[in-house]
Structure 1
């Protein structure tokens, strides 16, 4: 069993009926798995441009992570509760601290420190947003060190991903039967974040200790995440139909425009849990699962975290609060939720309503 790949081209190019049918199909997939796999998500005639953009990002990612460590550390992300910007070293994040199972065995946002504190992620990444963000600007590598990196990443690829994310959210609005713009109108400041990520080689022996994974089970923080992955494999999502905590491998197919889309915490809040976030992890590829000895090859991914405006209130919409489904989430702003979740990664959680949060909002 795996997640089917859905051709998304009709959402831009089909009839109104085809568009609506596709929206229902995509939303049903999100209700089932919290995730979907899409192909042909670009405007008709722009598929080649998407292929070029994706290929170029992988090439630039490889060059970025091969920069001298001192150059990467010169643009390091500050490990606090604010949005991530710049370079994060291998082991910087601790995704095991942000999500845990409740008494019924369901993964939930972690509200305390009752999680293992010694689990490590083996990955490094670079996070950025659009130029002109006055509150949380991105520190970029110099043009001399990496020619064209800044211009292509921020000026070409980021806008393409932002448009795909808004198309998918519009499809979800149709599929849920809420007014179009319910989610996308909360994204006018375009504070989405894009991440390039590198997983260095890792031995299967190290994985078998149980303390280290490429990435531990977690959910993401925004509305949705778009995720492009290379051919290495190892990505898995929670199998919700399983009674024993099984995982579904998301095996790369080689389809050049394929992108995974994952429901994230903000959308869970807005729908009062009607849509559940996709719990995902990165471990050994299927071909290396049962190997006593071996080395996981390096892996590259590209992620767009589609975010609500920082001042936007993300409490549950009225239509999702009923006598049978009482309100589950507080009326936080998107930034307050983000501060809370990123603070968990770095043991730097702010107090909601504190001066730090209020000033940033």
Structure 2
């Protein structure tokens, strides 16, 4: 199955863009999210050199000796969600189809995710401090990570403002930005080590199993290795490949929190990482290592994720589909399952 993800040009939101260009972008953003759960974004404001830099630091971090990575290890439990996650520590298969109401995975033995990660949050997060390797072990790493995190948050807020404007154009007033003023978003470096193709095809091992993200949107930067697949919104259960034409292109996908706030007007999209299209005809061999960077944009912890009233209409058969749950509570439900 081949599907083309809508490509949007962020230049339409520049101060010198016309009102018509801005309105067209905002409408296209909602349309893309509604139909496919995601869009591709270029000219988003993050310079190419900073994106190149984050991938260079990504590789440098995971090349560090294990004892250095262990010095900033993520605990075996869910919290604090900071630091280095070793291969197999997370169980993303525990949340496969969870948002669809599936409580028990089909494969009770589980699927091993052959992936390492490094998680960070806001510099001034009052709940969880970041974990950083000693500056002498990887000079300059922390500074670039913090800079890139802030740039991603700017893109996140810009997307929320565009959604607000797009919904206003449809006669719907929503306040998404205000719900995210307290920045509790998380940024993650991902490293998928080389893996032999037959191991992936057994179904007992994965680069990452099917899952949806927790927050408002995810900003994903990926290299050219491939393997990302996304579930079709029009044909549930069917996955199609999504590759990046360049590392500077951002794949923006909807997360659970925005699905809940909009009462399913926008829905989170399930995705996974598996054998790339270019390698599917090979019976043997080893997949190249894969790197990506994900910014998991989130609603402030104390904010409710119950559907915004404007998306609820009991009289017309559109009741609220989700309970009054805080963003923190929802985040913890899924995070505890991943580390359970």
TM-score, scaled to structure 2: 0.93
Distance across 2 between alignment mates of 1:83 and 1:109: 26
Could you tell me which residue of structure 2 aligns to residue 9 of structure 1? 11
> Are residues 1:260 and 2:251 paired?
yes
Distance across 1 between alignment mates of 2:101 and 2:227: 23
1:98-119 CA-partner distances (Å, limit 9, x unpaired):
1327xxxxx6254x34443411
Could you tell me which residue of structure 2 aligns to residue 25 of structure 1? 28
Distance across 1 between alignment mates of 2:187 and 2:63: 19
Deviation at residue 330 of structure 1 after TM alignment: 1.0
Query: In 2, are the aligned partners of 1:129 and 1:192 still within 8 Å (CA)?
Result: yes
Distance across 1 between alignment mates of 2:320 and 2:105: 24
Could you tell me which residue of structure 2 aligns to residue 179 of structure 1? 173
141, 148, 159: which one aligns with 2:150: 159
> Are residues 1:98 and 2:95 paired?
yes
Distance across 1 between alignment mates of 2:300 and 2:235: 36
Deviation at residue 174 of structure 1 after TM alignment: 2.0
Query: In 2, are the aligned partners of 1:86 and 1:126 still within 8 Å (CA)?
Result: yes
1:16-95 residue pairs with structure 2 within 5 A? 16-42=19-45, 50-82=47-79, 84-95=81-92
Q: CA RMSD in A?
A: 1.6
Quickly say closer, same or farther: Cα 1:114–1:216, change in 2 above 3 A: closer
Could you tell me which residue of structure 2 aligns to residue 352 of structure 1? none
Quickly say closer, same or farther: Cα 1:129–1:109, change in 2 above 3 A: farther
Query: In 2, are the aligned partners of 1:97 and 1:116 still within 8 Å (CA)?
Result: no
Could you tell me which residue of structure 2 aligns to residue 224 of structure 1? 217
Could you tell me which residue of structure 2 aligns to residue 353 of structure 1? none
Query: In 2, are the aligned partners of 1:196 and 1:303 still within 8 Å (CA)?
Result: yes
> Are residues 1:198 and 2:195 paired?
no
Give the secondary structure class of the aligned counterpart of 1:9: helix
1:149-186 CA-partner distances (Å, limit 9, x unpaired):
111101x1111110011111111222223436x11111
Aligned pairs, number: 331
Query: In 2, are the aligned partners of 1:83 and 1:338 still within 8 Å (CA)?
Result: no
Quickly say closer, same or farther: Cα 1:53–1:109, change in 2 above 3 A: farther
Query: In 1, are the aligned partners of 2:233 and 2:269 still within 8 Å (CA)?
Result: no
Deviation at residue 79 of structure 1 after TM alignment: 3.2
- Range moving further from structure 2, 333-342 or 13-22: 13-22
Could you tell me which residue of structure 2 aligns to residue 321 of structure 1? 312
Query: In 1, are the aligned partners of 2:112 and 2:205 still within 8 Å (CA)?
Result: yes
Could you tell me which residue of structure 2 aligns to residue 271 of structure 1? 262
Could you tell me which residue of structure 2 aligns to residue 343 of structure 1? 336
Could you tell me which residue of structure 2 aligns to residue 148 of structure 1? 140
Distance across 1 between alignment mates of 2:302 and 2:197: 44
Could you tell me which residue of structure 1 aligns to residue 122 of structure 2? 130
Query: In 1, are the aligned partners of 2:185 and 2:296 still within 8 Å (CA)?
Result: yes
Query: In 1, are the aligned partners of 2:173 and 2:310 still within 8 Å (CA)?
Result: no
Give the secondary structure class of the aligned counterpart of 1:153: helix
Quickly say closer, same or farther: Cα 1:6–1:16, change in 2 above 3 A: same
Give the secondary structure class of the aligned counterpart of 1:207: helix
Question: Which runs of 5 or more structure 2 residues have no equivalent in the other structure?
Answer: none
1:180-233 CA-partner distances (Å, limit 9, x unpaired):
6x1111112211111111000011110110121111110000111000000111
Could you tell me which residue of structure 1 aligns to residue 323 of structure 2? 330
TM-score, scaled to structure 1: 0.88
